[in-house]
Amino acid sequence: MSIVGQSVPRVDAVAKVTGEALYPGDYNLPNQAYMKILFANRPHAIIRGIDLSEAEALEGVIAIFTAGDVPVNEYGLIMPDQPVLCGPGSTKPFAERVRWIGDQIALVIAETEEIAAKARDLIRVDYEDLPVVTDPLEAMKEGAPLLHPERDSNIFCHYRIRKGDVEAAFAEADVIVEGEYRTPAQEHAYLQPEAGISFIDEEGRVTVIVGGQWAHEDREQIAHALGLPEEQVRVIYPPVGGAFGGREDMSVQIVLALAAWKLHQRGINRPVKIIWSREESIIGHHKRHPYIIRARWGATRGGKVIAADMEVIADGGGYAYTSTKVLGNATLMCTGGYEIPNVKVDSYAVYTNNMVTGAFRGFGGPQGAFAAEMQMNRLAEALGMDPVEIRLKNVLREGSLLSVGTPLPKGVSLPEVIQKCALESGWQLERLEGGETRAKFVGRPELKESPAPHLKRGIGFAAAFKNVGFSFGAPENCWATVELHGATEIERVVVRHAASEVGQGSHTVIAQMAAEAADVPLEKVQLVMADTAVTDNSGSVSASRMTFMAGNAVKGAVNLALEKWRAEDRPAIATYQYRPPRTTPFDPQTGKSEPNFAYGYVAQSVVVEVDTETGHVRVLDVVSANDVGRAINPQQVQGQIEGGVVQAVGYALLENFVQQNGYVQTQHLSTYLIPTVLDVPQQVRSLILEYPDPIGPWGARGMAEMPFLPFAPATLAAVHDAIGVWFNEFPLTPERVLRGLGRIR
């Protein structure tokens, strides 16, 4: 292989560093108008009326649209439980209520952004406030105020897993460890806030240039809300400044399309542009789910985990977004990468008046892994056992049964990943008769060089696994079209594919895989990407799936095109749809399922230094071992590992997203702290492991989410190693650390 496996420069590198690349906010068209959105800024209320008179009278205002202007006023990636615009006069009665501060009320289109903002502030809304429910435990109770009165409960999803006899196993356990864990909300904080421009194109299609993660799904939701056939809607994705799941659900896509289309109906053919401010972005799109996870695990004296009883509660906010799918992942992963014969899990997604929650890097995996790995580390302590050794005694192997009663797909490498990470991190491993492995930590220089008595150092370890692709029966496929051009030899390979480029390098690896499959130099590959008018559905850039899915689709299309080329059918054009092995949903009673067709595996060690005087936690060293199957572009893999670790530093230590009575208290980057260069670990060692996935393209697995998953539990284990305190929630802000040390109340 001459191209797959090489760290070739990114295909978009020059355009991005020179400023030639246009991001959604960079697009400008002649005679464009500007849009501002009136947010509810109420966590729970009924809208009794909207007075537009002052706003409409302002010079420069072109139009204002409200709920009555939306033909089919509903949307939702999983279920259509959310209005496009809230207010009276809607086609959907549920639109008269707002359920979180980011609900959208009115769209103001004006000659300038300043006029639009001024007019937005002149709109008067008559609210009847309703009881606010922000505690998911309270929201679950019978008699709690209902956010969606048409339902009989705020619980909108419940999964069950029943494997073996949990109570009988607990009766036999020598050690039982219990804990209640809480994980926080997290803001995506991508570099570029939501932005885009909409217009009617030369073929009469409502066209939106916008950032997103699944162009065809955006088109489907826009078409549904506007009551149009999908072919009358066109979605184009230019380069996007980050996503991390934050662009899976709607933000400005539908309202941009609505504005251009309604103006067109009035005979006003003008493009409409919007750019959200950082504050608008923070209150206007979903966050990572906060979770409450109650865990009880039992083990034998020899370190075998024999029982796990879990209650998993996700705060869904006001609408479903992707909560049901995120909950599915957390339900599977809350017992970790371990074979436990007796498992009971009950998991719930709950409506509250907090920020809506949805996809974020790891998609339920980080929350589930946090509880599982904390339990494993605490069991190791209770048993006086090494944390690596107890993992190797219980780890999922080839043929092991998951909690849902079915084996993992072939290619399980978690034992090897744990061992590689441990060896690199200062452990000695000894193979014993009978096949078990004894592990012993023999030390690290960083742990012996504390510069002052109040600076305590420690090391922690954690592991995880992450699905590749859509789970639990969700339809999964990916299309690609390839054209081979040339008279006597292949001079140009055109790849048409809908994958979005959100900074992760997907277009580069697609070009590499196309060149490899066609056996041509990379410079002969031309990409036509992410435009629903000329590319078929690729599925979303999420679930660590795009390299895996696009690689198989492109490889299939190239092979078909080569057959035509050899038959001298030139240019040779072929379209191929890749479908992976099917997955199945949870059985409603037992949870039995075949949840995923592929996985990636990861283990991490983290060395920290805790300042016991200030409470500050500093990350000194991270070893991150990741089985990627095949590194299509090793440099990009390393970048994903380092980026995932730094983002996880924010999650574990810094990013304290504060909500009070449904209102966000940290709506600026001055109060919501994300990692800066000074917070980056002193050293991140990326171990890129390549145990091929049997059905991955060239053996590749997806990997972008993996490095995020084990970091928080490994860090909290390291803090415990340093100061002897277990923390069951994070971020570990200095205040929380000092409270744990008993320095403050």
* Residue 449 pLDDT grade (very low, low, confident, very high; cuts 50, 70, 90): confident
Q: 287-401+411-470+588-740: which CATH topology?
A: Aldehyde Oxidoreductase; domain 4 (3.30.365)
Q: Please give the pLDDT value at position 592.
A: 98
| Nearest one of 79, 212, 205 to 542, comparing CA atoms | 212
Mean of the per-residue pLDDT values for the chain?
97
Q: Determine the average pLDDT of the residues in 587-612.
A: 98
Q: Please give the pLDDT value at position 323.
A: 98
Buried b or exposed e, range 654-674, using 16+ CB within 10 angstroms: bbbbebeebbbebbeeeebbb
614 pLDDT more than 80: yes
Q: Are 97 and 15 in contact (CB under 8 A)?
A: no
Q: Please give the pLDDT value at position 445.
A: 85
Taking the domain 477-578, which CATH number applies?
3.30.365.10
Question: What confidence tens digit (pLDDT) does each residue in 378-395 have?
Answer: 999 999 999 999 999 999
CATH superfamily of 24-130+194-275: Aldehyde oxidase/xanthine dehydrogenase, a/b hammerhead (3.90.1170.50)
Question: What confidence tens digit (pLDDT) does each residue in 226-278 have?
Answer: 999 999 999 999 999 899 999 999 999 999 999 999 999 999 999 999 999 99
311 pLDDT more than 90: yes
Question: What confidence tens digit (pLDDT) does each residue in 460-514 have?
Answer: 999 999 999 999 999 999 999 999 999 999 999 999 999 999 999 999 999 999 9
Answer yes or no: same fold for 287-401+411-470+588-740 and 477-578: yes
Q: How is the chain split into domains, by residue range?
A: 24-130+194-275, 287-401+411-470+588-740, 477-578
Residue 428 per-residue DSSP state: E
Q: How many CB atoms lie within 10 A of CB 141?
A: 11
Q: Please give the pLDDT value at position 337.
A: 98
* Residue 689 pLDDT grade (very low, low, confident, very high; cuts 50, 70, 90): very high
Q: Determine the average pLDDT of the residues in 723-737.
A: 98
450 pLDDT more than 90: no
Q: Determine the average pLDDT of the residues in 333-358.
A: 98
The residue count of the chain comes to: 745
Q: Determine the average pLDDT of the residues in 420-447.
A: 93
Q: How far is CA 486 from CA 489, 565, 584, in A?
A: 6, 10, 44
Q: Please give the pLDDT value at position 434.
A: 83
92 pLDDT more than 80: yes
| Nearest one of 643, 650, 613, 621 to 732, comparing CA atoms | 650
The strand pairing partners of 482, in sequence order, are 495, 574
Q: Determine the average pLDDT of the residues in 648-667.
A: 98
Q: Please give the pLDDT value at position 446.
A: 84
pLDDT more than 70, % of the chain? 100
Give the pTM: 0.97
Q: Please give the pLDDT value at position 448.
A: 81
Alpha-carbon gap, residue 520 to 522, rounded angstroms: 6
Q: What is the 3-state secondary structure (H, E, C) of 224-246?
A: HHHCCCHHHEEEECCCCCCCCCC
437 pLDDT more than 90: yes
